[in-house]
A and B are shown apart, each in its own frame.
Chain A
């Protein structure tokens, strides 16, 4: 009886309620923390990716559920010259634009790596083409490429008198292709230049000093110091650049919509035209799925060919 009435004088520890305790239980906390990100990615990325592959084997149209038709979509595409045209132009567009972007971007990065006044301002200005929505700058290019009022034509014809008639940027096959590539290079230079500049700044100046003492030429310093040390970053930037150039959609859709005569269709714009505008979801999905091998190939190439060279880890060449 005495025991029952005895009071416990020690301070009562504040017991966290069950909810707080649950959130301090690590497995549950890990699950809760990963839930939003993984949930979003699973529902809107992984599931559609699988669904896309499934759709490419069906004859789904907008408004009617499709049934499984095996490889029919792909067989149809294999005999479709428009599809092969899009494949060709996608590869060509990616190859030429990537080369242009990296050549010019590397040059710009090397220029910016010197001591120049207003460097941070310059860097900010140079990034502008990358910040501004692609479609809006594409519209500006469309206007610059206007058949009648292009400023380039005006300068060439009426100021410099080097041509007798205006440029024909977008109305025939090859000029249209090159014009789009030029716009893509213009938009891609800033990203390449700024990323490579960051890589350049991590190269220790003492290497250059040592090379100078050895009497190296500027080309040798670039070839044997700058380039090898830049290669890891170059590989990553190139992977991204190739992936996003190959799957480009906005520039082409805004400027030519695949014309003239479907000669500037990229695989993405062709997939849109067939899948969404034309309503043939299955066929559009097949075109989109056909992009995957190219993307995997490009990624593996830039990853293994450029990024994983042994000497980068300080080991000998072999």
Chain B
């Protein structure tokens, strides 16, 4: 590769003289800051619009000529009030929260054990089990939901949040296991050997030595699982029927969108409130989240 670079370099390379400070600054402005600002604006604009819509009174919402559409003349909480007191929104939030917490706990528990067995107990064929679990991550929910619906029905779990708690781990466990295998790999094996010599059992080692050292990995896997299960849609749409057991994203789409005239104010308020928990949760652990995202890709 280096040869190729050398060969390609033009022999009479024109050496650019040091540019004057102001010139390179404008250059940087145009090539870096301007595109970056554009990206940020484009990526954030839908959220800005969502937020501004949920606090606008209806009169402003549907009249751009009289009111400046990019700002709120007289902010109102009526959409949020409508959402919280006249719909089952709080209930949907609770269901979503419960499902997300339970499935995250379940999948963390199973992936810690699985990752420990694969990475530390080193039985014959352990790397194949690891590979199989990784391949499970490549099976998307869209090809599973129809047969899963019949399975859920056979198990008598249809229309129960338990169905979601049990099915979400199918995409949470593979990811978390891979993340945790990476973390366990980074913990020196000598620590465990010392404990073994001191007469600790394997489970004591896992509980007292490996797990405390793998806390950052556990947090990353936990956040990732939580956001993934909060965002899940297709299973929740297919397995839950009664209105009061729906999760936020399904409920907004199926219960709040009704008739021909959409209540954009409350729809956007619902989206905003539904996004806030993950956004807040995420903002506390951004670095863990980024490291898990990139760590999993690098694995």
Contact = CB atoms under 8 A, between A and B. Distances in A.
Interface of A: 16, 20, 23-24, 26-27, 29-30, 32-38, 40-41, 43-49, 51-52, 55, 60, 104, 107-108, 111-112, 114, 116, 120, 122-129, 131-137, 139-141, 143-144, 146, 149, 151, 154, 158, 186, 189-191, 194-195, 197-199, 211, 214-216, 220, 224-225, 228, 233, 236-237, 239-240, 243-244, 247-250, 253-254, 267-268, 271-272, 275-276, 281, 284-285, 288-289, 291-292, 295, 299, 311
Given A116-B33, A133-B275, A139 B148 contact: no
Most chain A C-beta atoms within 10 Å of own C-beta, residue among B9, B61, B145, B170: B145
A198 B294 contact: yes
B169 to A, nearest CB: 5
B144 A49 contact: yes
A250 B234 contact: yes
Contacts of A253: 233, 237, 253
Contact of B113 (A36, A43, A228): A36
Given A41-B173, A272-B145, A127 B151 contact: no
B140 A125 contact: no
Contacts of B113: 32-37
Interface in B43-68: 43-44, 46-47, 49-50, 53, 61-62, 64-65
A224 B7 CA distance: 11
A272 B138 contact: no
Contacts of A237: 297
Given A16-B201, A271-B142, 11 more contacts: A40-B170, A41-B169, A107-B35, A126-B43, A133-B231, A140-B268, A195-B294, A249-B141, A249-B233, A272-B234, A288-B146
A254 B166 CA distance: 25
B147 A33 contact: no
B17 interface: no
Contact of A216 (B5, B177, B233, B297): B5
B131 interface: no
Contacts of B111: 37
B32 A45 contact: no
Interface string B104-116: 0011011101101
Contacts of B146: 52, 55, 271, 275-276, 281, 284-285, 288
Interface in B214-234: 227, 230-231, 233-234
A125 B40 contact: yes
Contacts of B252: 135-136, 139
Contacts of A158: 64-65
Interface stretch (B73-81, B187-195, B279-287): B279-287
10 contacts: A37-B111, A41-B133, A135-B250, A137-B47, A140-B50, A144-B49, A214-B5, A233-B297, A250-B249, A272-B238
Contact of B151 (A44, A111, A271): A44
B102 to A, nearest CB: 13
A144 B129 CA distance: 46
B247 to A, nearest CB: 9
Interface residues of B, number: 99
Q: Is the interface of B mostly helix, strand, loop or mixed?
A: helix
B142 A133 contact: no
Contacts of B118: 34
A26 B123 CA distance: 9
B162 to A, nearest CB: 12
Most buried by B among A38, A211, A233, A291: A38
B20 interface: no
B1 A224 contact: yes
A215 B10 contact: yes
Contacts of A24: 201-203
A49 B229 CA distance: 21
Contacts of B237: 253, 272
A281 B147 CA distance: 8
A90 to B, nearest CB: 10
A124 B201 contact: no
Interface in B155-202: 166-167, 169-170, 173-174, 177, 201-202
Contacts of B14: 215
A40 B166 contact: yes
Contacts of A254: 253
Contact of B143 (A112, A215, A291): A291
Nearest to B278: A131
B233 A55 contact: no
A41 B136 contact: yes
B21 interface: no
Contact of B298 (A108, A194, A197, A233): A233
A159 B52 CA distance: 20
| Residue among B47, B146, B264, B268 with most chain A CB within 10 A | B146
A23 B287 CA distance: 37
Contact of B253 (A124, A128, A135): A135
Given A111-B35, A198-B294, A140 B145 contact: no
A189 B233 contact: no
A250 B233 contact: yes
